[in-house]
Amino acid sequence: MPELPETETIARDLDAALRGAVIEAVSIVRDDVLREASAAMFVRAVRGARITRVSRRAKSIVLRLERGVSQGSTDRVPDLHHLVVTPRFTGALLLTEPTDERYTCLRLTLADGRTLRYHDIRRLGTIALHDAARHTAWDATLGPEPLDPALDADAIWNAMRSSRQAIKTLLMDQRKLAGVGNIYANEALWRARIRPTRAGKSLRRLEASALLESLRAVLTESIALRGTTFRDFQDAYGSRGGFAAKLAVYGRAGLPCNACGTPFRTTHRLAGRQTVWCPTCQR
């Protein structure tokens, strides 16, 4: 599932390519990916709108749409909407033609002739239509962003120290910290030398500082390499991310730790996801 580096890569690509573009036509091929709007409402809100910004929030790509004209004689379309695209496992926002059009769920044709497609083989991703109030409410359900300079170690420490849940589980809780998923939680905890199965309340203040530093480092490094692709993730131009070769922990169960040589251990007991750690380095 795309995490912060992957969705950040897509958002940056699309912001550079689409800022200022006008959506001339909307073709909904699979309406089961839509959320919080019927197909008719979606078309009415999106067609004719200008894309003024593309950004990321948590694991979602957000297209900000603005307009200032009325549609119809009595009803006015609100001036501001957001499309919140959450790709999940196989979703992709593409500016290039996909290899198989059977999995295209949505096409947005731009006034300059280009097409933005939402392509999703398993159709587990979603596209939500938010007006301004709904978008504010959605944003408020999410925790702070780990790359936000305003976030400090005390915030991480306070978010974890009252809980008996595993530190890794808390790290991936989007209400506490936005954008972190299984891959980068494993990597950051190994770098910070913290065992992922420990209870949140056991985290010490100095460890919280090390965790935040490690998390920011691994996320920044992955963004620089345009994310991690094992199978499905592709950027807006259909290319793969390059960070998989740099992973020190994730997917390496039973292999020797790069730091001490001890074989990595693994469990699936934390949220059903693969957790990998070094029993020597991570305490």
Every domain of the chain and the residues it spans: 4-140, 153-277
Residue type, 130: H
Give the up-direction half-sphere exposure of residue 97: CA atoms within 13 A in the CB hemisphere.
4
Nearest to 179 by CA among 145, 229, 139: 145
Nearest to 45 by CA among 128, 136, 138: 128
Q: Which tokens in the block code for residue 40?
A: 């008719």
pTM: 0.93
**Catalytic-role residue among 3, 6, 8, 187:** 3
**Which spans in the chain are helix H?**
4-18, 39-46, 132-140, 153-160, 167-171, 182-192, 205-224
DSSP string, 183-200: HHHHHHHHHHT--TTSBG
**φ and ψ at residue 155, rounded to 5 degrees:** -65, -40
Name residues of the chain where pLDDT drops below 70: 68-78
As a residue count, the chain comes to 283
Taking every pair of Cα atoms in the chain, the longest distance, rounded to a whole number of angstroms, is: 72
**Catalytic-role residue among 50, 53, 193, 273:** 273
**φ and ψ at residue 207, rounded to 5 degrees:** -70, -35
pLDDT at res. 79: 82
What CATH number labels 4-140? 3.20.190.10
Distances (CA, A) of 197 to 20, 52, 111, 123: 46, 43, 52, 32
**pLDDT digits 0-9 by tens, 93-102:** 999 988 889 9
Distance of CA 134 to the CA centre of its chain: 19
Q: Judge whether 256 counts as a catalytic residue.
A: no
Nearest to 82 by CA among 104, 106, 56: 56
Q: Does domain 153-277 bear CATH number 1.10.8.50?
A: yes
**pLDDT digits 0-9 by tens, 187-206:** 999 999 999 999 999 999 99
CA distance 89 to 7: 12
Indicate the helix (H) or strand (E) that contains 206.
Answer: helix 205-224
Q: Judge whether 168 counts as a catalytic residue.
A: no
Residue 230 is classified by DSSP as S
Q: Judge whether 201 counts as a catalytic residue.
A: no
pLDDT at res. 100: 87
Q: Judge whether 3 counts as a catalytic residue.
A: yes
Cβ atoms 142, 57 nearer than 8 A: yes
**Catalytic-role residue among 2, 5, 146, 196:** 2
pLDDT at res. 78: 55
Q: Which tokens in the block code for residue 5?
A: 């580096």
Map residue 42 onto helix, strand or coil: helix
**Catalytic-role residue among 12, 56, 59, 67:** 59
CA distance 194 to 208: 10
CA distance 5 to 13: 12
